[in-house]
């Protein structure tokens, strides 16, 4: 069984979406300084690295991250490689696919140390087409699944966006996805560990 970790490592100074909090991981108690144990503190935004969006991210009063269905976040998925995240990308999704991960030129942006605003993202029309095909989860290889219209369309239809995936070492094909976000009550998003198991 081959397990592929598609999560972005969390570290101080890592790239975050423009305007999101910076990441600070620091040791607050250290054995090297005479303490009995090493203890660290993590300060970061819930949309850091690999994470899921909850409906309340764009819909006031909607469900938080703790209410996301684990059934949607775990199961068979398809990885499809496309040059753009427009309506043509939707046509590349195999019929009957409920979980789709898009590998795009965005994957190469993980080598950058600063946020890049010119990245592939879904627009409202592409998001609507995905909803129409019965997709329940959409994963992308950079820090946002799409523009505001795309977010409203997906989240309003109960589709779970998984953002910030590292798909550089992943070949297109069929996998089992296991994505477990932190159970943050009422939160608009949650960091997650995501893996693929080759089927």
Which residues form the catalytic set?
57
Measured CA distances, 89 to 7, 79, 115, 145 (Å): 23, 12, 24, 13
Strand partners, 40: 27
The span from the CA of 100 to the CA of 109, in Å, is: 20
Tally Cβ neighbours within 10 Å of residue 7.
Answer: 17
* Cα torsion angle, 27, 32, 34, 37, sign: positive
The span from the CA of 176 to the CA of 174, in Å, is: 7
């Amino acid at each position: 069984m081959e397990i592929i970790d598609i999560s972005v490592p969390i570290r101080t100074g890592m790239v975050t979406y423009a305007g999101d909090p910076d990441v600070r991981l620091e040791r607050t108690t250290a054995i090297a300084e005479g303490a009995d144990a090493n203890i660290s503190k993590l300060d970061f935004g819930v949309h850091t690295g690999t994470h899921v969006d909850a409906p309340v991210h764009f819909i006031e009063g909607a469900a938080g991250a703790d209410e996301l269905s684990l059934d949607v976040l775990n199961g068979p998925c398809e990885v499809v490689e496309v040059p753009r995240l427009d309506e043509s990308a939707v046509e590349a999704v195999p019929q009957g696919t409920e979980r789709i991960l898009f590998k795009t030129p965005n994957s190469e942006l993980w080598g950058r140390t600063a946020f890049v605003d010119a990245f592939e993202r879904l627009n409202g029309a592409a998001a609507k087409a995905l909803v129409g095909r019965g997709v329940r989860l959409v994963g992308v290889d950079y820090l946002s699944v799409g523009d505001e219209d795309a977010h409203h369309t997906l989240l309003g239809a109960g589709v779970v966006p998984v953002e910030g995936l590292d798909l550089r070492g992943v070949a297109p094909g069929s996998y089992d996805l296991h994505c477990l976000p932190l159970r943050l009550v009422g939160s608009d998003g949650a960091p997650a560990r995501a893996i693929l198991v080759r089927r």
